[in-house]
Every structure is written in structure tokens, then in C-alpha cells.
Structure 1
Amino acid sequence: MRAAVEQSALPIGTAGADEARRDRVELLNQLDDYVLPRLRSLDAPLLCVVGGSTGAGKSTLVSSIVGEVVSRAGVLRPTTRASVLIHHPQDARWFADNRILPGLARLTGGVGADEDPGQLRLVASDHIPAGLALLDAPDIDSVVEANRDLARQLLSAADLWLFVTTAVRYADAVPWSLLQQATERGTSVAVVLNRVPVDAMEEVRADLAQMLMDQGLGQSPIFAVLESRLDEHGLLPYTEVSRMRSWLTSLAADAHARSTVIRRTLTGAIDSLSGRASTLADATQEQADAADGLGSTVAVAYQHAHDEVAEGMSDGSLLRGEVLARWQEFVGTGEWFRQLDAGVGKLRDKVSAILRGRGQGVPTAELGEALHTGVAALIASHGEAAALAVARQWRTRPGGAELLAADPGLAGVSTDFDSRVQRLVREWQGEVLELVRSEAGGRRTTARFLAFGVNGIAVMLMLITFSATAGLTGAEVGIAGGSAVVAQRLLEAIFGDQAVRSLSAKARRRLLDHVDDLYAHERRRYDDALRGLSVDPDSADRLRAAVNAVKDAR
């Protein structure tokens, strides 16, 4: 389960992702800091974490329980910098290494001015019984975020939480939210009501006991400490902490009692793992779904672009305007359309006579350039539309806006898109030329072939590639002035019906293949961005499998 939690990632800003990230860190910390080390070492000393609100007097209380100053106290906040762990000298081996709290660097010796929350200061003292360790944690409501986070982490590492509050702050919301969490996770809790005025002791203690009862912590011991003057060492009077000290000492001395506390907390922590890991699994599934949604948006946009290009290649729209004007120059408007008016069927018989001698003066370059421009515009416009569609939809989807902000170039086509389109069309036109050369074979010396030459025939093949079916009927003569019909009949006169259909199909397929490659290149930018999120689609399944494995093992 620990491995599955660590491998889970929540990079996308889905609803609840921030809370899920915090829960993931807390779950991982509790596995590392408490559950796994405690399972491996059930006989290790009981760790009592002393935690509470700012100004509750935790450090003074810890030093007073031990009987010597072991943790710094003061009026400035926050006073606790590094966490302080006090243990009996013979228990040093349990805490010197990374068995628990592996993320905290170890310090030894006196209090230093440069301590920080990333450190754990170890203090060995003969005044604390073997089998017990006290950990003075930072304030749970500290003004320093790192202190608050560490306090929560340390509380999750506790066999026993000694919750310290005061007569003034015992009902504050922050500590009670943590007490509720402790209840849910089965942590053993004892409560210290500190700095209680004599005349308020009975009323405040009774109210606190009722609150604990309502919280499900009615069995938790309550220790009340009167508001007292500190001695010359800054410690509370012994009478105020003697009951608490005796309780902790007897707990350390009684192996059975100590084991009961440890096992109760450990069992509660393991019980909580299933629900917390399952919740994390749901959150990681949302991440995978969000990533799939972003990816699907890209796929749909570029599939639509492909379909639009395919439609534009067959609806006759490319055979109008400049292309039509150049085509009419190419064939000689009057004579060709008089032949069409007389009947398309007569065209084949007269094509050789009309074309003979015209081949060298045919303006193929202008027609080819007009086709080039039209095809490039068709491909570029739909590629740009796809990029804009992706950007528009990503801005409304979890994670999409962040990806666009990280790489603004994703909001449009790639920087070399236009040059790639131009190169694509030129390459395709070259391939069409090769198709004609290959198909021509021995026909290159025929009158029909010589009338237009390889370039002219290639241009006509391109022209009929953009007709509705690459095999128009007489009813479709009206499309773009019948230009595709004329080109088709000319090529049929040279190659025959079947060869023309095959050539036009190959030319069309090759152009669409090039378009697919171009759009795939554009899509990879988005795919790379999504891969950079490191969303693991199998993460949720691994977490759920781990939950079931833990249940089965128990």
C-alpha cells in the first residue's frame, strides 16, 4: 500500500485535488512514520507526542514532567523550532536512526538558535523511564505553515497523543478538528487542561469532559493543571504534574498496559488506511479521467480537421475561383465547353485532334500553383481551427488552463506549421507527377500524351482528385463549370477509365496520409504536455488492490 500511495500523483487541479494532495501526504507520512515502523518493532518504546495550541504551555509541561529543562519555552511565537524527543539513555537506539520520522534530521545536545522544523533534537535523560519517549511538537495552529504541517505529521506518528489546552482555549476549532481525526484513526488520547484558575476548575473540567464524550473520547484521561507560578528553573510545581508523571511512569513500567495502548492505536491506524487509500484511489481516478478528457478533446479536434479536409477535397470547392480561371486558360474555354454542350460522349473521339500541337503552350504552372494555394489553404485553415478548438476547450477543463499557461504555444499551431503545409503540398504534387510517369509507360509518345505532357496530365489528375467521387457523371457537370468532367475525360482518353479511377484514388489517399502525418505532428505537442503531467491510469487500480490485500492479510 505504501508503494501504491507513493506512486499516485495528483497534478491536475480537479475539484478536491488540493485536499486529496494533503491527504496523500498525511497518509504517506503515517505509513512511514508510524504504521510500518511500529509493525516492525512492536516492542519499541511508547512514543507520547505532546501537542496543542499556541501558548498552551507544552514545552514547559514537558520539561516539568521530565524534571529538567529539555525544551525551550518563551513568550514569543512560535517558540518550538525543532521538535524535541526525550528518551531514556538505554532507548537511544530506537530513535537515533530513521526507524521513525525518517524525513527529520537528527540533532543532539543543547538547544541551538538555528533549529528548524526539518530537524529532530534528541535528548537523553535519566529522569524519564525506559520504554517511554516524550516528543514536544510544534503548535498545531502555529503562524508558521511548516510548523503546522509538522505538528500534524508528528501527531500521526504517536502511539499516544497528550493533547494540551488551556481554560481559555479548550473549545477552539483547530484542536478539535485534530481530535476528531484522532478519533477516526483510533489514536489513543490523553488531555491536559493547563493553566486553569482555581475558581473555574470544576466548571471548565466538566465542560471539557462532556465535549470529549460527544467526540467519542469519553475514556480519555483528563489531567488538570492549576494556573501556577513557575520555579526558578521555569518548571511547574511538582504537585501539579505528579499525577500525570505517575500515570506515564506506570504506563512505561507495565508492559501489558503499554502494549495495549500501542496495539489500540496501531489497530486504529490500520483500520483507517482502507478508507483513506480508497478515497485517494477515487481522487487518482478523477485525475486519469481528467487527463483522458483532455486527450479526447485533442483527438476529436484533429479528427474533425481530417474529416473537413477530406470533405473539402471532394465537394468541388477547390475547383472554383482561381483554379477554375487557370483551368479555362489551360484548355481553351470556348472550344471545350462547346464540346460539353454538344455532349460529353463526343469528347473522347475528338480529343486528339483538338489537343494536337497545343502541348508546348499549355500554362500548366499557373494551374498547378493555383491548386497548390487552394490545397494549402484548406489544410492550414482546418489545422488552425483544430488548435483553436483544443485551446478553447482546455481552458474549461481541469488541468487544461494550467497546461496552456505553461506552454502558450499550445493555444495555436506550431511555429513551423505553415512551412510544413507548403512542403507537404509540394511533396504531394511531386508524388502525383511520379504516379503519372509510372502509369504512362509506353504511352509517352502518343499524340494524346504529347498534347499535354507529364506536367499537364499530373495537374489534371490533381484536379479530378478534388471532385466529388473521382468519377463524375453527366449530372455533375455543373460543378465548377464542368472542369473536373473535362479533366476526367481527357485522362480517360489517355489511360482508360479504370486507370484514371485508380490514379485518382492513390493521389487522394496519399494527400490524406500526408495530412494525417501533419496533424499527428501537431497533436504530439498536446500529447507530450499530457505525458508531462505524469498521470498514471493504473494508479487507482493499484491502490484498490492494495486495500484488498491489506484486508485479506488481516
Structure 2
Amino acid sequence: CTPWRYADAVPWHLLRTAKEYNATLVTVLDRVPHQVIAEVARQYGALLTRAGLGEVPRFTIPELPESAGGGSGLLPTTAVAPLRAWLTHRAQDPAARQQALDRTAGGVIASLRSRMPELAAAVSGQYAAAVRLAGTVEQAYGNEGKRVRRELKAGAVLAGDARTRWRGYPVDSTSAELLDALVESLTALLECAVAAADERVREEWQREAALEGPEAVTGEARERIGVVVRRWRRVLEELAEEEVRVLERSAAPDPEAVAALLAAALLGGRRARRAGERLAMRIGAHGALRLRDKGAVLVGDCIDQVLDGERDRRLAPLDALDVGPESQAELIAALSVLKRSGE
């Protein structure tokens, strides 16, 4: 400590903690003006005694004229000779080293005996809280996954621009325009699902006095969702192209039209019953059924990929805690090993 900071709370807290662990201590008051060195040393000694640290060796290093002001800034060797002698003895004397080691190790182990129940309880509480918080995320995203599937059956994707494009198809809207509108609508539905799940998570996490919870859906999250949905569209278009290629007819339908009708049938729910009929007229009933079965799997995979991916991102901070049900037992077992090694 410096002579100006020796009464501060931080060093005294460290000293008391070290005393609890029975660590070998030494204190140094550095560069005390030689005019007040006796008074400062007396007051400092009184503070140590009052804190139950009166037996701790203490050294007071004076600030001398040759080391202050216009001097070199270096203390003469005589000023630090007592401290150097004490440190040299501790470093070079085997018995002194062993005594310090045994005392400190014994103090740490002894402190663990008294602190272990509290520490084990805290670890157990941390694990329980992590399980609750993770459960909130799992439940929120699971509920949103179910809601999205209900919305799809009800035709929620076939709304707004997508509905307008479908009503005007194929006279006033092209297959590409219909596909674009359906992709945008599905993306919006999934973004809303993620936002709703995150809001639920935030509410529950705040009740736990834990993290504030995930932020509102960001541009990065929207981009991730958009990438997954656009990838789903490409795979759907590839399915349509494969189905058209195997048709044994000279006037095969346009693959993009097949993809648009398939997307409308998959995403339009009750509002797009005619999409399935039109699809069957173009590629046959068996082909339409085959495409719809494959497409339904792709839609489910798309929903799962978006929601599971965003859910896992929200769970990452909890996974990083690396706490489990075995942590409490591991602490107690570790203490037992320490006790045996110290005997």
C-alpha cells in the first residue's frame, strides 16, 4: 500500500480474506515521507491490530530525499534491506518455505470445509435456474412451432400480397411472382414466430432475475430466416423439375408453374384447395400426391431449421455455463480428495 491508500477498503478486504485462508502474510507501506513515518506506522499498526492482524509482519519503506523530487527515484538498498532479508529467508530456507506452503494449503482446505455446503448449494441452485431458463426457451419455441403449423393449415401464408397474386394467377400474376409472394409471406410468418418466442423468453427470464433475454429479432436473424426459406424454395423448384422430366408426354408443363402450384398447395391451407386440383391436372394425380408428400416434409424441415436454429442460439449462453446435475457431487468429491491429500 501507499501511505495515502492504506486505510482503503479494498486492501483490507484482501487481507481479511487471506487471514481466513490462513495464508502467510506480509504488509508493506511503500514510500512513506520520512517526516511522518513514525506516526503513519503507528496508525497502521493500530488498524492491523483492530482487524485481528496484529501479528502480521509489516514493513515501512521511507521516501528519502535522494529518491524523491529531483533525485533518481530509486530507493537506496538500506531502505528496503529488512524487507529483502525477510523475503530472502522465505525463499531460500526450506523449512520456511514448507511452513508457508503447509499453512496456506491447510488454510484453504479448512476454509473449503466451511464454505463447501454453501458453494454446493449455490451450484445446485445455478443448475436448477439454468434448467428452468432453458425450459422456458424450449417451451416458447415449441409452442411457436405448433402455432406456425396451425397457421399453415388455416392458410395464413396466403394473405396480403400472396393472396392477391394467387387470385390473379395465372392471368395477372406469373409463377415467379406467386412464388416470390409466398416465400415473403412464409418468411414473415417465421419472423413473427421467432419474435413471439423471444418475447415470452424475455418475460420469463426477467422473473428469474437472470439475463434480460434475447433482443428483438435483428437484421441478422431476419437474414438467417430468409436464407432458410429461399433454400426451401430452390429445393421445391428442383423437385418440380424432376417430376416434369419423368412425365411421358410431349407437352410437359412448365416446371416453374408446377413449383408455384405446389407451393400454394403446401402453404395455402384451406384457402388454396384449388392449387392441388390444378397441380393434379398438370402432372397427374399420382405425381401431384407424390410431390405434395415430399413438399410437406420440406416445409416441416424448413420450419424446424428456422425455429430450432434460433432456439439453439438463445440456449447458447446457458450451455456455456457448463453446469450439470453432477457438479454438486463433483465439488464434494473434490473436497474429499483435498482432505485426504492434506492428511
Q: Quote the residue 2:36 is aligned against.
A: none
Q: How does 1:157-236 map to 2 (within 5 A)?
A: none
Please tell me the residue identity of whatever aligns with 1:386. A
- Looking at structure 1, the residues matched to 330 and 268 of structure 2 have their Cα atoms a distance apart, in angstroms, of 54
Aligned residue among 375, 382, 398 for 2:186: 375
> 1:214-271: per-residue Cα shift (whole Å, max 9, x none)?
xxxxxxxxxxxxxxxxxxxxxxxxxxxxxxxxxxxxxxxxxxxxxxxxxxxx8x9988
Partner of 1:513: 301
Q: Deviations over 1:46-104 (max 9, x none)?
A: x9x9xxxxxxxxxxxxxxxxxxxxxx853579744997546xxxxxxxxxxxxxxxxxx
Q: Counterpart in 1 of 2:241?
A: 437
Answer yes or no: is the 8 Å Cα contact 1:391–1:412 preserved in 2. Answer: no
Q: TM-score, normalised by structure 2?
A: 0.65
Contact kept in structure 1, 2:191 and 2:217, CA below 8 Å:
no
Amino acid aligned to 1:455: E
Aligned residues of 1:413 and 1:522 also touching (Cα < 8 A)? no
Change (3 A) 1:537 1:493: same
Match of 1:388 in 2: 199
Does 2:290 align with 1:502? yes
Counterparts of 1:311-390 in structure 2, within 5 Å, are 311-330=150-169, 363-390=174-201
Task: Check if 1:545 corresponds to 2:333.
Answer: yes
Query: Contact 1:492 / 1:500 at 8 angstroms: preserved in 2?
Result: yes
Check if 1:289 corresponds to 2:123: no
**Partner SS state of residue 318, structure 1:** coil
2:42 aligns with 74
Give the drift of 1:465. 0.8
Structure 1 alignment gaps of length 5 or more: 1-21, 35-46, 50-71, 87-106, 125-130, 132-156, 159-265, 333-360, 405-409, 469-478
The C-alpha deviation readout for 1:135-163, integer Å capped at 9, x for no partner, is xxxxxxxxxxxxxxxxxxxxxx79xxxxx
| Cα 1:112–1:436 shift into 2, 3 Å | same
CA RMSD of superposed structures (Å): 4.4
Tell me: CA distance 1:532–1:442, structure 2 relative to 1, closer, same or farther (3 Å). closer
Decide whether the 8 Å contact of 2:116 with 2:332 is kept in 1: yes
Given candidates 396, 415, 422, the residue that maps to 2:226 is 422
Q: Report if the CA contact (8 A) 2:175-2:257 is conserved.
A: yes
Using the TM superposition, give the Cα deviation of residue 437 of structure 1 relative to its aligned residue in structure 2, in angstroms.
0.8
1:285–1:537: 8 Å Cα contact kept in structure 2?
yes
Contact 1:315–1:467, Cα closer than 8 Å, also in 2? yes
Tell me which of 280, 302, 307 is aligned to 1:492.
Answer: 280
TM-superposed deviation, 1:545:
2.7
Q: CA deviation at 1:432?
A: 0.9
Distance 1:503 1:78 in 2: 88
Q: 2:252 matched to 1:303?
A: no
Distance apart, 1:438 and its partner CA: 0.9
How far apart are 1:508 and its partner, in Å?
2.7
SS at match of 2:60: coil
8 Å CA contact 2:165–2:173 kept in 1: the answer is: no
- Structure 1 residues 436 and 533 mapped into 2: Cα distance closer, same or farther (>3 Å)? same
Q: Higher mean Cα deviation, 536-545 or 434-443? A: 536-545
- SS of the aligned residue for 2:276 comes to helix
Deviation, structure 1 residue 374: 1.6
> Which of structures 1 and 2 has the bigger CA Rg?
1
Instruction: Name the TM-score, length of structure 1 as normaliser.
Output: 0.42
In structure 1, what residue type is equivalent to 2:174?
P
The answer to whether the 8 A contact 1:461-1:504 is kept is yes
2:60 aligned residue: 111
1:123-162 equivalences under 5 Å are none
Aligned-partner SS, 1:395: helix
Report SS of the residue matched to 2:247.
helix
SS of equivalent residue, structure 1 residue 112: strand
Unaligned runs of 5+ in 2: 1-12, 26-39, 64-82, 89-94, 96-102
State the distance in 1 between where 2:123 and 2:134 align: 16
Question: Do residues 456 (structure 1) and 286 (structure 2) align?
Answer: no
8 Å CA contact 1:330–1:362 kept in 2: the answer is yes
Q: 1:490 to 1:269 in 2, by over 3 A?
A: closer
Give the aligned partner of residue 119 of structure 2.
280
Structure 2 counterpart of 1:530, which letter?
L
Q: Return the alpha-carbon distance in structure 2 between the equivalents of residues 27 and 464 of structure 1.
A: 72
Q: Residues of 2 paired with 1:120 and 1:497: CA distance? A: 96
The one-letter amino acid of 1:438's match is E
Letter in 2 for 1:370: A
Q: State the secondary structure of the residue aligned to 2:128.
A: helix
Point out the more displaced range, 420-429 or 318-327: 318-327
Structure with greater proportional helix content: 2
- Counterpart of 2:182 in structure 1: which amino acid? L
Cα distance change on mapping 1:307 and 1:365 into 2, 3 Å = same
- SS of 2:142's equivalent? helix
**Residue identity matched to 1:440:** V
The answer to whether the 8 Å contact 1:27/1:276 transfers is no
Alpha-carbon spacing, 1:455–1:390, altered in 2? closer, same or farther (3 Å): same
CA 84–77 in structure 1, closer or farther in 2 if over 3 Å, else same: closer
Give 1:179's aligned residue. Answer: none
